[in-house]
Amino acid sequence: METTHTNQEQTISSPPSPCVLVCNIDIHTGLCLGCARTLDEIARWSTMSATHKEEVLALLPARHRQLQAKDI
């Protein structure tokens, strides 16, 4: 896990990026074919709170299924 620091110098554990270096956006869904994030989520990942990252990560399995179903 990557680590970030708050202004009070407290250490907070933050989830790592789900990027798998397959950066290709599906024009129909707007999702990356590699990590299943939106362009906005990819762009904002480094500044998102750990809680927001966890929320995005929770959405990814369903998004991956959505992308796989498109290819069937």
Q: What's the CA gap between 72 and 65, in Å, rounded?
A: 11
Please indicate whether residue 10 or residue 69 has the higher confidence score (pLDDT): 69
Note the Cα 24 to chain centre separation in Å.
14
> pLDDT above 70 covers what percent of the chain?
82
pTM, whole model, 2 decimals? 0.80
Confidence at residue 4, expressed as pLDDT on a 0 to 100 scale: 52
Please indicate whether residue 56 or residue 8 has the higher confidence score (pLDDT): 56
Quick one: 21 exposed, middle or buried, by C-beta within 10 A (0-12, 13-18, 19+)?
exposed
pLDDT in tens, 20-54: 999 999 999 999 999 999 999 999 999 999 999 99
